[in-house]
Amino acid sequence: MQITNLTVDNFRNHTHTTLQLSAGVNVLVGPNAQGKTNLLEAIYLSCVGRGWRAVRDSEMVQFGQERALVQVVAEKRFGKVDIAIQLGLGMKKSISINRIPITKVAELMGQINCIFFSPDELKLVKEAPADRRRFMNIDISQIDKSYFYALARYNKILQQRNASLKNNCTERELSVWDLQLIKQGEILIQKRQAFIQKLTPYVIEKHRALTGGKETIALTYETCANFEQDLQQAREKDLRLRTTTVGPHRDDLAILIDGKDVRVYGSQGQQRTAALSIKLAELDLFADLTGETPILLLDDVFSELDSSRQARLLTAVANHQVVITATDAPSVGKIFHIKNGQIVSQ
Task: Confirm or reject binding of residue 271 to Mg ion (CB under 5 A).
Answer: no
Asked whether the beta carbons of 111 and 83 are under 8 A apart, the reply is: yes
For 89-115, b where at least 16 C-beta lie within 10 A, e where not — what string? eeeebebeeeeeeeeebbbbbbbbbbb
The 202-241 contact track toward Mg ion, x by CB under 5 A, reads: ----------------------------------------
Closer residue to ligand ATP in complex, CB, 156/339: 339
Taking contact as CB under 5 A, which single stretch among the options 36-44, 223-231, 239-247, 249-257 is the one that binds Mg ion?
36-44
How far apart are the C-alpha atoms of 17 and 39, rounded to whole Å?
A: 9
44/286 with CB nearer ligand ATP: 44
17 lies in the binding site for ligand ATP (CB under 6 A): no
Percent helix, strand, coil in the chain, to 5, is 45, 25, 25
Residues ≥6 apart with Cβ < 8 Å to 296: 114, 115, 117, 283, 317, 320, 321, 322, 323
- CB 225 within 8 Å of CB 193: no
Instruction: Confirm or reject binding of residue 32 to ligand ATP (CB under 6 A).
Output: yes
Stretch that binds ligand ATP, among 29-37, 106-114, 172-180, 210-218 (CB under 6 A): 29-37
Task: State which H helix or E strand residue 172 sits in.
Answer: helix 171-211
Please report, as residue ranges, which positions from 287 to 306 form the binding site for ligand ATP (by CB under 6 A). Answer: 300
Q: Whole-angstrom Cα distance, residue 98 to residue 5?
A: 14
* Binding status of residue 37 toward Mg ion by CB under 5 A: yes
Stretch that binds ligand ATP, among 55-63, 129-137, 209-217, 227-235 (CB under 6 A): 55-63
Q: Which stretch binds ligand ATP (CB under 6 A): 54-62, 101-109, 191-199, 304-312?
A: 54-62
Question: Which of the 8 DSSP states describes residue 294?
Answer: P
Residue 34: contacted member of ligand ATP, Mg ion, none (CB under 5 to 8 Å, by partner type): ligand ATP
Q: Which of 26, 34, 200, 321 binds ligand ATP (CB under 6 A)?
A: 34
Residues 6+ apart with CB under 8 A from 227: 182, 185, 186, 189, 246, 247, 248
Give the residues lining the site for ligand ATP (CB under 6 A).
12-13, 30, 32-38, 59, 61-63, 300, 325, 327
